[in-house]
């Protein structure tokens, strides 16, 4: 049986998890990976509906599910059984083999210093919405230095999903860190 890599994309509400997934999927598909997406709004399918619209023509709608946290694992297993040729499942705020944690620059440049499990334990930390730094008086250099201390050398990638800044680097980090064994040439 084929091993399917489950990649969790976690972080606070509004940090850009859904936008990040929408940026990653086309790049993974371009690498000939078969992708599934499970979003996780607590009470609606808004994120899944948004992802379906954003990825129309890139990823078939039936490869995207929007489910509350309580049934997320079941949804992942259901999708994997329906699409056994899958290489990777991107799971918003769900249990996974490899974790990408997203924080938002607008939350302030002290966030990495405050630490927490997502900051220190995730496989990759994403500092998203870099374009907002001047508007919220956040210092990206301070965020980078604090994240480096908290993470002990694990990757930190700065991104802006609106412009695509940092997304190629993040894609490469995911390919190298999580998907090296699914036949992708990195």
Residue 79 confidence (pLDDT) above 90? yes
Q: What is the pLDDT of residue 145?
A: 97
Cα–Cα distance for residue pair 148/145, rounded to 1 Å: 5
Q: What is the pLDDT of residue 186?
A: 41
Cα–Cα distance for residue pair 40/95, rounded to 1 Å: 12
Inter-axis angle of helices 17-30 and 46-54, nearest 10: 40
Nearest to 79 by CA among 88, 18, 21: 88
Mean of pLDDT values over 135-144: 97
120 and 143 co-located in one domain: yes
CATH number for the domain that contains residue 160: 3.40.50.300
Cα–Cα distance for residue pair 151/146, rounded to 1 Å: 9
Q: What is the pLDDT of residue 45?
A: 76
Which domain range does residue 60 map to? 11-86
User: How many domains does the structure of the chain reveal?
Assistant: 2
Cα–Cα distance for residue pair 140/54, rounded to 1 Å: 29
Cα–Cα distance for residue pair 76/147, rounded to 1 Å: 31
Percent of the chain having pLDDT more than 70? 92
Nearest to 178 by CA among 124, 125, 126, 128: 124
Q: Look at residue 121 and tell me if it is in a domain.
A: yes
Q: Look at residue 73 and tell me if it is in a domain.
A: yes
103 and 75 co-located in one domain: no
18 and 47 co-located in one domain: yes
115 and 74 co-located in one domain: no
Please give the mean pLDDT across all residues of the chain: 92
Q: What is the pLDDT of residue 1?
A: 58
108 and 174 co-located in one domain: yes
Q: What is the pLDDT of residue 179?
A: 77
Mean of pLDDT values over 3-10: 94
- Specify the 3-state DSSP secondary structure of 125: strand
Q: What is the pLDDT of residue 185?
A: 44
Q: Look at residue 5 and tell me if it is in a domain.
A: no
Q: What is the pLDDT of residue 183?
A: 52
Cα–Cα distance for residue pair 26/29, rounded to 1 Å: 5
Alpha helices in 43-95 (DSSP H): 46-54, 72-82
For 57-69, what is each residue's pLDDT tens digit? Answer: 999 999 999 887 6
Residue 44 confidence (pLDDT) above 80? no
For 87-136, what is each residue's pLDDT tens digit? Answer: 999 999 888 999 999 999 999 999 999 999 999 999 999 999 999 999 99
73 and 126 co-located in one domain: no
Q: What is the pLDDT of residue 182?
A: 56
């Amino acid at each position: 049986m084929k091993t399917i890599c489950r990649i969790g994309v976690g972080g606070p509400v509004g940090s850009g998890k859904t936008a990040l997934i929408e940026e990653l999927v086309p790049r993974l598909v371009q690498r000939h990976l078969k992708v599934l997406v499970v979003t996780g709004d607590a009470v609606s399918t808004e994120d899944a509906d948004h992802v379906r619209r954003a990825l129309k023509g890139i990823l078939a709608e039936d490869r995207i599910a929007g489910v509350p946290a309580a049934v997320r694992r079941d949804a992942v297993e259901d999708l994997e059984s329906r699409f056994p040729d899958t290489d990777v499942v991107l799971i918003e705020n769900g249990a996974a083999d490899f974790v990408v944690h997203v924080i938002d620059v607008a939350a302030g440049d002290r966030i990495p210093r405050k630490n927490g499990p997502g900051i220190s334990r995730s496989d990759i930390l994403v500092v998203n919405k870099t374009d907002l730094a001047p508007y919220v008086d956040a210092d990206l250099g301070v965020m980078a230095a604090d994240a480096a201390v908290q993470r002990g050398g694990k990757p930190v990638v700065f991104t802006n999903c609106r412009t695509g800044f940092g997304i190629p680097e993040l894609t490469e980090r995911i390919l190298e860190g999580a998907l090296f064994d699914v036949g992708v040439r990195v």
